[in-house]
Structure 1
Amino acid sequence: MKEIKAYIREKRLIDVAENLKKENFCCFTVFQGEGVGDYTDPETEFPSLAFPFLHDKVVKIEIVCNKEEVDEIINIIKSHAHTGKRGDGLIYVSNVEQRIRIRDGKLGRQ
């Protein structure tokens, strides 16, 4: 199994999420955050009250999938998060060694 983490623009989340669901990738987690990177657009991004030294508002999507699904999920994220401007985001793919369901302790796939 693989874990995909995608850091995208906050404004692109709805489009990405709708298209993941449309292609039957229903189960993922979303986090709001702010990042520090090489990119800051002072005309559209402003510091927040919570983190006044940060400028880039981001959303992190995490999804665990079969390795055969990785390319399709990445293509969905890339095509629907893309604006063509610096700061569109990053995608990381990692190996998942095991899955344990908390409810009953079951190991393996769902």
Structure 2
Amino acid sequence: MYWLTAIVRPFKLSDVYERLLSDGVGGMTVTEVKGFGNQRADTEIYRGNAYTSRFVPKVKIELAVSEKDLERVVESIVESSQTGSPGDGKIFVYKLEQALRIRTGEVDLEAI
């Protein structure tokens, strides 16, 4: 099993969600986050004043996937979130030791 964390543009969340749903992904956690990478601060004009945001808003998607589904899920996230511009995001994959469903006590693949 693997724990997958994807950081994507907020307006791409719907596309990623629909794609993963059609791929049969059973669940995910989504968090609104801010950060920066190579895509640095953004200057916006609001009511005639310039404001610089040091952190860029993003969405963090987290989900557990089986080893056999990992490559397909990663490809789906890339294809549905990619714009070709800097700031499209990142995907991190971690080895997941164990998963446990609290309600039923199911473990590992049965829990996800």
TM-score, normalising length from structure 1? 0.84
Please say if residues 34 and 54 of structure 1, whose CA atoms lie closer than 8 Å, have aligned partners that are also in contact: no
Alignment match, 2:24: 24
Deviations 1:9-38 (A, max 9, x none): 011000010010011113111111111323
Bigger strand fraction: 2
Deviations 1:88-109 (A, max 9, x none): 0000111110112222433332
RMSD, matched Cα: 2.1
- Take 2:58 and 2:24, find their aligned partners in 1: how far apart are those partners? 24
Matches within 5 A, 1:6-45: 6-40=6-40, 42=42
Which one has the largest radius of gyration? Answer: 2
Question: How many angstroms does 1:5 deviate by?
Answer: 0.5
- Please identify runs of 4+ aligned residues in structure 1 that moved more than 3 A: none
TM-score, normalising length from structure 2? 0.82
Please say if residues 5 and 91 of structure 2, whose CA atoms lie closer than 8 Å, have aligned partners that are also in contact: yes
Structure 1 unmatched ranges of 5 or more: 47-51
How many pairs are equivalent? 104
